[in-house]
């Protein structure tokens, strides 16, 4: 098995206690990576929702100076007036908003979805590798327990 430093460790030379420690460490890493994976999926879902909203903004029903409901929270809306049907405010992170055209906003959200999707694929490979390492360690632990070493 390869460690973070890139060196290979022969699992047969480790004691059951050492193998258990390595397994516990890998379990903690897997828990953290799985939580990160879930957060990335949630972010990708939010970008997908934003993209759908921006693409839905091309409707002919949207007109300048039309009354609209503006969401302040998930359950609180206030009345407002649509000042421009061809521009939207895009949250670019850490509370900063940028005014963009509908096309530019759609491109922004597509790019974000693509970036997050790539990160998800990379993280999935890492999680699978660590999961395989845990399985191998569990197998070696079982073999050592059966043989009484």
DSSP string, 26-55: HHHHHHHHHHHHHHHHHHHHHHHHHHHHHH
pLDDT at 35: 96
pLDDT at residue 86 is higher than 60: yes
pLDDT at 104: 95
**Cα–Cα distance, 29 to 17 (Å, whole number):** 19
Contact at 8 Å (CB) between 54 and 102? Answer: yes
What confidence category does residue 93 fall into, taking pLDDT thresholds of 50, 70 and 90?
A: confident
What confidence category does residue 147 fall into, taking pLDDT thresholds of 50, 70 and 90?
A: confident
The more confident residue out of 123 and 144 is 123
pLDDT at residue 119 is higher than 90: yes
Instruction: Dump pLDDT digits (tens) for 32-51.
Output: 999 999 999 999 999 999 99
Contact at 8 Å (CB) between 69 and 79? Answer: yes
pTM (2 d.p.): 0.75
pLDDT at 14: 85
10 Å Cβ neighbour count for 126? Answer: 14
pLDDT at 58: 65
Across 71-93, average pLDDT: 88
Q: What are the residues whose beta carbons fall under 8 Å from the beta carbon of 42, sequence distance 6 or more?
A: none
| Dihedrals phi, psi of 88, to nearest 5 degrees | -135, 160
Percentage of the chain beyond pLDDT 90 is 56
Across 72-95, average pLDDT: 88
């Amino acid at each position: 098995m390869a460690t973070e430093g890139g060196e290979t460790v022969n699992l047969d030379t480790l004691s059951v206690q050492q193998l258990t420690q390595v397994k516990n460490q890998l379990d903690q890493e897997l828990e953290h990576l799985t939580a990160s994976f879930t957060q990335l999926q949630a972010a990708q879902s939010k970008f997908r929702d934003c993209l759908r909203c921006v693409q839905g903004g091309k409707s002919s029903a949207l007109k300048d100076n039309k009354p609209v409901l503006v969401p302040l929270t998930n359950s609180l809306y206030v009345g407002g007036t649509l000042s421009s049907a061809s521009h939207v405010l895009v949250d670019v992170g850490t509370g900063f908003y940028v005014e963009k055209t509908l096309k530019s906003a759609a491109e922004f959200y597509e790019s974000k979805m693509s970036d997050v999707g790539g990160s998800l694929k990379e993280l999935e490979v890492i999680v699978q590798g660590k999961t395989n390492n845990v399985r191998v360690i569990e197998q070696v632990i079982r073999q050592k327990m059966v043989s009484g070493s």
